[in-house]
Structure 1
Amino acid sequence: MVNIQTLDPTASPLDYYGWELRRQREAHGLKQGQLGEIIFCTGSLIGQIETTKKVPTRDFSERVDAALGTDGLFSRLIGLVLRSQLPTWFQPYAELEAKATYISTYQAQLVHGLLQTEEYARAVLATGMPDDLEGLVAARVERQRILERELPPLAWVVLDEAVLHRPIGGHEVMRRQLAHLLKFTGRRWMHVQVLPNKAGAHSSLAGSFTAMRFENDPDIVYTEDVISGHMTANPETVKEAALRYARVQAAALSTEESAELIARLMEERYGDRSQPEEQPVA
């Protein structure tokens, strides 16, 4: 007799997704392998997702909806599922980020998560040696969907020039990441500036931070330490962060000059190489 794992659909969004997938598949009289053939994947993958051993993707969800005629059920569920894969301490921030009308951020170490390519994100997230790297990558990519809305938040990103020089994932990954940043040049709702090394001492030497504004809620300032993140709506902190950000922006290159620097570094630092690149070991 086949041992069928029993799921509690109330345990988590992922458990509910797996439970509902099994219920819908069986209601259509399909075995795992049969559904797999319809949506071009293996029956094993269907089984892994039904038993929460594998996190589904948005593409998988859309194909299941089309195959089972579930009227977008799984496409709606996947956002909740992927958000639940984020670290517990980060989930409140992700929920607010999805509601923000204006996001301003200074990043001293890395490209901001909303602007990361999938392969850059994978290299960044791998440094934490997570149990489910692909689930975290999928969750990060899912966050970026707010930029695809008909009315996305207005976002202003200032990157320290050091971010562009740090070869996360290797030269090819960085070349594609910088090319991705250039795609935002000229966008009305996304502005990217670079704080050049020549700026020297500046108002945010203490590190990265993000400020968010909302339609009907107080402004929020978000910072991270080595273990977790911290949010506050304290008016004095919000005011101080706004002042520091204004000074960082003033010291940064214009958006046009920033694009020129990014393009130049993409070619000079991450251009084609005749010799195989060596991966640094931290």
Structure 2
Amino acid sequence: MRSRELDPSASPLDYYGYELRRAREAAGLTLAQLGSIVFCTGSLIGQIECAARVPQREFSERVDAALGTDGTFSRLVGLVLRSQLPSWFQPYAEMEAMATHVSTFQAQLVDGLLQTEPYARAVLGSRNDGNLDGRVAARLERQRILHGDQPPVAWVVLSEAVLHQEIGGRKVMRKQLAHLLDLQKHTWLDIQVLPFEAGAHTGLMGSFCLLRFEKDPDIVYTEDFVQGHMTANPEALKEGSVRYDHLQAAALSIDSSAALIARVMEERYGNDPGPDEHDVA
């Protein structure tokens, strides 16, 4: 890719590319030389320096080690990845990262905080595969809040339909359900399944999330197919909290939920995929 001058103030991605080129040249390395050190091609380095590709966290950590930049790119990449989220979703992602409690009900899909990379790729690429790598990386970056030093208390209620809605093929779904079972080991994360037998329930209007904070007002968040809606309105919060309490009460226990997830994983997705089915790259 031909070199071009970047305006570092244009976007986080441009700033990252500008700084990467500056640091590489200061170290006296060619694109190919740096690529060989961080285990990628010089072409990929060039694309990132031109803001044509979105860097990933592992790449940034390797660059910091190779160039001795004291964590600069590991810090920058979080800003870059967040900028890849839809503009209307970015304020929610910022609040989600600061929340002490995250409660979510999902009627159709596994919550974004719990998605595997192949599942996220299949979901995000279902309508538009433009900049898919960057959008997937941004979604996975959000999940870092669950693995930090002070993770939020997270409670997830999934409709049983989520387990049966095949996203990306059987192999992808089996891996996703196995991931849900593995996440049950986290001390501050609980997953319940709302079974079909629950009948009519308070989540029939659709998915929603509740965020609680140590000092800031609590937030309820909903989405339509155009954008997200975030509010701290006391009446909306009261309604959301009551609906969520009823969903938790109607859902299976944590242990029974895990047993159902495991059963669906084996019965619906247990067979090896056929020759025409492939995992998502």
- TM-score (structure 2 length as normaliser): 0.96
Write the distance in 2 (CA, Å) between the matches of 1:274 and 1:93.
Answer: 37
1:89 aligns with 2:96: no
Aligned to 1:61: 60
Aligned to 1:161: 160
Letter in 2 for 1:59: E
Write the distance in 2 (CA, Å) between the matches of 1:10 and 1:187.
Answer: 39
> Deviation per CA, 1:177-216, whole angstroms, max 9, x where unpaired?
0000001224320000000000000011000000000111
Aligned to 1:270: 269
Write the distance in 1 (CA, Å) between the matches of 2:231 and 2:4.
Answer: 42
- TM-score (structure 1 length as normaliser): 0.96
Q: CA deviation at 1:39?
A: 1.1
Mapping of 1:237-276 within 5 angstroms?
A: 237-273=236-272, 275-276=274-275
Q: Report the number of matched residues.
A: 278
> Deviation per CA, 1:13-56, whole angstroms, max 9, x where unpaired?
10000000000011111111111111111111111000011100
1:119 aligns with 2:118: yes
Structure 2, gaps ≥5 residues long = none
Query: Is the contact between residue 48 and residue 54 of structure 1 (CA under 8 Å) also seen in structure 2?
Result: yes
Aligned to 1:19: 18
Q: Give % identity.
A: 67
Letter in 1 for 2:53: K
1:173 aligns with 2:172: yes
Write the distance in 2 (CA, Å) between the matches of 1:272 and 1:203.
Answer: 35
Letter in 2 for 1:211: L
> Deviation per CA, 1:152-191, whole angstroms, max 9, x where unpaired?
0000000000000001000010001000000122432000
Write the distance in 1 (CA, Å) between the matches of 2:39 and 2:104.
Answer: 40
Letter in 1 for 2:34: L
Letter in 1 for 2:42: G
Change (3 A) 1:187 1:46: closer
> Deviation per CA, 1:89-148, whole angstroms, max 9, x where unpaired?
110011011000000010001000000000000000001314200100000110000011
Structure 1, gaps ≥5 residues long = none
Q: Provide the secondary structure at the position in 2 that maps to 1:98.
A: helix
Aligned to 1:108: 107
Write the distance in 2 (CA, Å) between the matches of 1:101 and 1:208.
Answer: 20
Change (3 A) 1:119 1:3: closer
